[in-house]
Amino acid sequence: METSQISELLRPFLPQALETPSESRDVLATAQLQSISMYIDLLLHWNSRINLTAVREPREIVTRHFGESFFAARHIFLERPKAGLHVIDVGSGAGFPGLPIKMWAAHVQLTLLESNHKKATFLREVVRAMKLNDVHVFTVRAEDFSGKGDVVTLRAVGRFDSALAIAARLVAPPGRLAILIGEGQVSRARNLVPQFQWEKPIPIPVSASRVLMFGESG
């Protein structure tokens, strides 16, 4: 997919950095856009053999997967993250939002938790192809993982109730839980993890009902 197309499709999800009063440029560098194009090619190739995503049209992959993930990344890191900050992505699947978060904030340490061996193999191939450093893929159920992170992310998983409780336990206080959910799950999330201080949900662009919500651990 052409990088110019990717850039245009991601525009609603990203802030624009002004070069002059009359023009703006995308905040993603050319190399990042090229990496996204490579990622899409790998995803489509592997998706023909294993079920990584039901979304198969490249433009839709950009908006629904990359757009939502970068939108989360820009809100997680309103400031430049310090080196060594640990992000854990629970149930990574095809790598969203974890790998785009790493592309956005290269200095963080990223852990991807994926219990499916074939999906974990795909994640390792993407990490290798994109030459990403400080990314660790664990083929393990999240409830069996003993580490903790400064930021824990959760998106589009089955068994939401148990997954959210497990993700919350992986947050090292004081830390943040970032979840990408439907509006109908907001009240459920607050009730399931009442020990967290939940912020107001943030609507995700180009979506009728998807939101980003943060919970702060004490």
- Cα–Cα distance measured from residue 175 to residue 148, given in angstroms and rounded to the nearest whole number: 10
What's 71's domain CATH number? 3.40.50.150
Residues 47-78: tens digit of each pLDDT: 999 999 999 999 999 999 999 999 999 999 98
Tokens 């336990």 -> residue: 169
- How many independent structural domains does the chain possess? 1
Structural domain of 142: 3-216
- To the nearest whole percent, how much of the chain has pLDDT over 90? 89
pTM: 0.93
Q: What is the pLDDT of residue 26?
A: 52
Residues 159-201: tens digit of each pLDDT: 899 999 999 999 999 999 999 999 999 999 999 999 999 999 9
Cis peptide before 97 (omega within 30 of 0): yes
